[in-house]
């Protein structure tokens, strides 16, 4: 008991945290997507020893499991209200971690959670008077619907829109004015399924989309580097929101919304290496893994190894700066 209390005290006031401290938060949220199975992903990746494996790959970072973020009122209100309440609790956690200098690695859960995870880190930088970190949105989708344009009404297709300040019931309240990300510092990478309403929002805001087609055609290195020139043109710190459905469903069937034409395992690893080497990363989401539709844990395995590649490359980047 004494040991447990001591550890909790450490967690409440970890004044020794630095940007080399990675804190894993699980968010077993499935209600924002089309299939509830994504809620099982944090359990699945822990079963597959993500904490130990990331620790083993990268000695530059200290890796700790900070547990799950859960909603207070899971049964109350509309889907948007429930996901927003949950995202609000996540926002408080990532904000506290980033204020202490740690990097939150948020394992979803559906992609709605980005409205909480990234707004918390953006708010920390804004409060410090720093530039808001750019966002690399790696995803088959762009999540730029509002509740007015969404064909499905699924909140997981609205999180990027909420972060950019488009009006979405309840979800916009979580982002607030201080949690918004900058429209000139986000790039979408790997997109290949964009709804008409989303395209309209993208055109209006002038957001750069680097499709999976372009990645196949122009090559991974050229396309990823061009995307990074928007997100972090001069090596500024940035955030990565990684939806595993960017990988082709032939290799990663364990997702909520599968779209053909995605990346091969080799291509996602090359992408993660280039992204990690670019500049300091201050927040990571890894979302939309659905263990229920997975085959032989292929998708959870790819999620873990892709994160290991990203962090390994990031450690190399960090060691260059001492
Ligand atoms: Mn997606």
Show the tokens assigned to 255. 């997702």
Q: Is the peptide bond before 310 cis (omega within 30 degrees of 0)?
A: no
Q: Give the environment of ion ligand 1: residues with CB less than 5 A.
A: 139-141, 243, 245
Cα(321) to centroid of ligand 1, in Å?
34
Active-site residue, selected from the candidate residues 85, 110, 139, 214? 139
Active-site residue, selected from the candidate residues 64, 288, 294, 317? 288
Active-site residue, selected from the candidate residues 85, 111, 214, 312? 111
* Structural domains of the chain, with CATH: 18-320 (3.40.800.10)
Known active-site residue 245: yes
Long-range contacts of 14-20 (CB under 8 A, 24+ apart): 14/100, 14/102, 15/100, 17/97, 17/100, 17/101, 17/102, 18/101, 18/102, 19/101, 19/102, 19/103, 19/280, 19/282, 19/318, 20/60, 20/61, 20/62, 20/318
Known active-site residue 156: yes
- Listing DSSP states for 152-182 in one string gives S--GGGSHHHHHTT---TTHHHHHTTTTPPP
What is this structure's pTM?
0.94
Cα(227) to centroid of ligand 1, in Å?
18
C-alpha span between 98 and 107 (Å, rounded): 16
Rounded to 5 degrees, φ, ψ at 307 are: -65, -40
C-alpha span between 192 and 224 (Å, rounded): 15
Sequence-distant (≥ 6) Cβ neighbours of residue 182 within 8 angstroms: 132, 134
Cα(255) to centroid of ligand 1, in Å?
9
Cα(257) to centroid of ligand 1, in Å?
7
pLDDT of the chain along its 322 residues, tens only? 333 333 333 444 445 566 689 999 999 999 999 889 999 999 999 999 999 999 988 878 899 999 999 999 888 899 999 999 999 999 999 999 999 999 999 999 999 999 999 999 999 999 999 999 999 999 999 999 999 999 999 999 999 999 999 999 999 999 999 999 999 999 999 999 999 999 999 999 999 999 999 999 999 999 999 999 999 999 999 999 999 999 999 999 999 999 999 999 999 999 999 999 999 999 999 999 999 999 999 999 999 999 999 999 998 888 877 5
Closest by Cα among 264, 207, 287, 203 to 28: 287
Cα(258) to centroid of ligand 1, in Å?
8
Known active-site residue 243: yes
């Amino acid at each position: 008991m004494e040991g447990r209390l001591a550890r909790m005290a450490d967690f409440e006031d970890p004044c020794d945290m630095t940007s080399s401290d990675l804190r894993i938060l699980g968010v077993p949220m499935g209600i924002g997507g089309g299939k509830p199975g994504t809620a099982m992903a944090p359990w699945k990746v822990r079963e597959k020893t993500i904490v130990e494996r990331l620790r083993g790959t990268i000695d530059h970072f200290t890796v700790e499991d900070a547990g799950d973020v859960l909603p207070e009122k899971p049964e109350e209100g509309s889907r948007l209200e429930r996901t927003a309440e949950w995202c609000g609790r996540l926002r408080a956690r990532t904000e506290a971690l980033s204020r202490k200098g740690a990097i939150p690695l948020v394992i979803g859960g559906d992609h709605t959670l980005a409205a909480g995870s990234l707004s918390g880190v953006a708010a920390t930088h804004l409060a410090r008077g720093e530039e808001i970190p750019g966002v690399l949105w790696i995803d088959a989708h762009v999540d730029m619907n509002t509740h007015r344009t969404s064909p499905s009404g699924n909140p997981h297709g609205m999180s990027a829109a909420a972060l950019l300040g488009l009006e979405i019931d309840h979800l916009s309240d979580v982002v607030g004015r201080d949690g918004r990300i900058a429209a000139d510092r986000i790039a979408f990478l790997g997109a290949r399924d964009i709804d008409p309403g989303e395209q309209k929002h993208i055109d209006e805001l002038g957001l750069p989309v680097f499709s999976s087609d372009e990645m196949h055609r122009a090559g991974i290195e050229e396309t990823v580097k061009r995307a990074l020139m928007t997100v972090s043109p001069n090596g500024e710190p940035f955030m990565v929101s990684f939806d595993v459905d960017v990988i082709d469903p032939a290799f990663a069937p364990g997702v909520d919304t599968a779209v053909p034409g995605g990346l091969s395992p080799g291509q996602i690893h090359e992408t993660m290496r280039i992204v990690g080497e670019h500049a300091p990363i201050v927040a990571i989401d890894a979302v939309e893994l659905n263990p229920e539709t997975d085959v032989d844990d292929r998708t959870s395995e790819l999620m873990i190894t892709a994160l290991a590649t990203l962090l390994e490359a990031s450690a190399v980047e960090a060691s260059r700066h001492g």
